Structure 1
């Protein structure tokens, strides 16, 4: 029988989980209302399941999403998780009208900040914004970081079919760079223009569609020159980079060919190779991807200092996956880097507070 997982650093490191979802009850209510009228196929598929199904997993998810207190803490304890970085669940504000999006972002940020003040050793958080109103989004991000102490920005991928490479969103990215906080690019279901063959095959969500959509989003940001314009911008992406590490050679090769051929107006020369932005601006987390071969490969191709731990609670709550990652073929200092040190550095966490000192 396996020994119980413990917190407190007795194993040689603190386990910091960096992609942990939260939703205020007000958002759940808005999502239920949105389901009645929306034409967003992905939203109906995703939230239609999690908010209406009586199956065990969706019932667990919708209950735990709304908790940032003792229930969540008890399950962190059972899984050996010392600290969780909370962020607004997908699709967050990004299916809402501008007014509702602004309101939900502010409510979420206040609630997460309250949790971090109540349990400073256990919780940190990322800011939500309403991406439809850019001046308000910048103002809310600045409030959340400077006044509430939140540690980054959550972007649940596409914003009603729009992407962060579009110049309209540059002020938000500029603000994140100026504040020195990362943008966590979290999956969303594909937009209506790309989802139909996926949803008809039952592949639109976390099994595959999330990765397709979010990998495309990140690639758009790279090839559009976002990281040349904002060279200090930090982006974190889960699920070990949505398979992009396995494509890096081909991406570099084909992008160079497209630039040379001048085939697409959108494809311009970049300052670096696509693969090099992964080693300068991008970090990966292991949310939902605990398999040692894939973690080892990602560490090899993007750098050991670019891959950190995440659980993806409550969508994925499998304590055995923590044991799988404890058993990675890494030295004790490498495990400490993987579970603890990278997250502290990227999110600007206070190690003394997290360790309870």
Structure 2
């Protein structure tokens, strides 16, 4: 069977992590954990024409653990994810979790996951304990990722504000915090200083593409040395996944972002199978008559994951 899609936005749920999360802060977003297994995922992938799913741990990640316990849980999660990838390398990839905001522990884990576990990239959250990822204290992390020309999967977490009653964070806060974090990277010149990193923004980049002209023009009006096009260049430098995007969010992406920087994603299993299939069908319908565009979106991720560049299942 020929499968065409590379899904960069698929989550694993290690059973030990899900169980211990209950006594380590739970899920402060208000969403909760669905059922998950590798077997369920493979069935879903086959049904949706997905060749490869690149697995990652979703928010809140390991933030509920403290000190050495956080580092230990990070290692256990990464060993679990890397083992799934090693057992089925043609179907699974893995973006490693880091024990941030502990920079020293995170640097040690970057070395381990790349040199020993051979992961495909790392996951960063939009903020850690309210500290956004452009903060100077995370500079050593970015320097090491730049040295490795790393792929970074930027996933939102709950912003430093109360959850809106009746609206769990993934509903509105997650896209907003992705936007906030990514715009901060642009304003701080991060995309130029760390240009070798390939940063994937979840959920179509939140509202970044939709408001790109606003952000670029207003930022330029406040800057002495950068014009609007300079800000737009940095906005276009990100990669944007299609999880929960089509059809309403797709026109903004296509009008602003180069098609080669749009990559396929589902957000399985935190988006239910029904929801994932709806958004994938929406993407296919939106690209009807544009076979080259759809093929590019489905396969663009191979560029940032070298072992898939020569073809996947």
Same fold (TM over 0.5): yes
Structure 1 residue matching 2:8: 3-state secondary structure? strand
C-alpha RMSD over aligned residues: 2.2
Structure 2 partner of 1:285: 241
Give the one of 314, 325, 346 matched to 2:283. Answer: 325
Shift of 1:271: 11
Partner Cα separation in structure 2 for residue 302 and residue 331 of structure 1? 16
Cα deviation, 1:248-305, whole Å, max 9, x if unaligned, reads 1111111122224xxxxxxx8589722111223x1000111131x5324312211111
Which structure 2 residue ranges, 5 or more long, are not aligned? none
Structure 2 residue matching 1:354: 3-state secondary structure? coil
Q: What count of residue pairs does the alignment treat as equivalent? A: 309
Structure 1 residue matching 2:303: 3-state secondary structure? helix
**Does the aligned pair in 2 maintain the 1:20–1:86 contact within 8 Å?**
yes
Structure 2 partner of 1:303: 258
Structure 1 residue matching 2:158: 3-state secondary structure? coil
Which structure 1 residue ranges, 5 or more long, are not aligned? 1-6, 37-42, 51-57, 261-267
Structure 2 partner of 1:354: 312
Shift of 1:25: 2.2
Identify if the C-alpha distance between structure 1 residues 349 and 326 changes in structure 2 by more than 3 Å, giving closer, same or farther.
Answer: farther
Structure holding more strand per residue: 2
Give the one of 163, 175, 186 matched to 1:211. Answer: 175
Structure 2 partner of 1:44: 28
Cα deviation, 1:296-325, whole Å, max 9, x if unaligned, reads 431221111111110100012232432332
Structure 2 partner of 1:54: none
Largest Rg, 1 or 2: 1
**Does the aligned pair in 1 maintain the 2:178–2:202 contact within 8 Å?**
no
Structure 2 residue matching 1:124: 3-state secondary structure? strand
Partner Cα separation in structure 2 for residue 352 and residue 116 of structure 1? 18
Name segments (4+ residues, structure 1) moved above 4 Å. 268-272
Structure holding more helix per residue: 1
Shift of 1:91: 1.2
Partner Cα separation in structure 1 for residue 267 and residue 188 of structure 2? 29
Partner Cα separation in structure 2 for residue 147 and residue 85 of structure 1? 18
Give the one of 190, 195, 216 matched to 2:159. Answer: 190
Partner Cα separation in structure 2 for residue 251 and residue 175 of structure 1? 29
Identify if the C-alpha distance between structure 1 residues 350 and 31 changes in structure 2 by more than 3 Å, giving closer, same or farther.
Answer: same
Structure 2 partner of 1:28: 18
Matched, 1:95 2:51: no
Partner Cα separation in structure 1 for residue 191 and residue 197 of structure 2? 7
TM score, norm. by length of structure 1:
0.80
Structure 2 residue matching 1:132: 3-state secondary structure? coil
TM score, norm. by length of structure 2:
0.91
Partner Cα separation in structure 2 for residue 239 and residue 323 of structure 1? 16
**Does the aligned pair in 2 maintain the 1:15–1:82 contact within 8 Å?**
yes
Partner Cα separation in structure 2 for residue 85 and residue 252 of structure 1? 32
Matched, 1:148 2:117: yes
Partner Cα separation in structure 1 for residue 228 and residue 210 of structure 2? 22
Matched, 1:274 2:231: yes
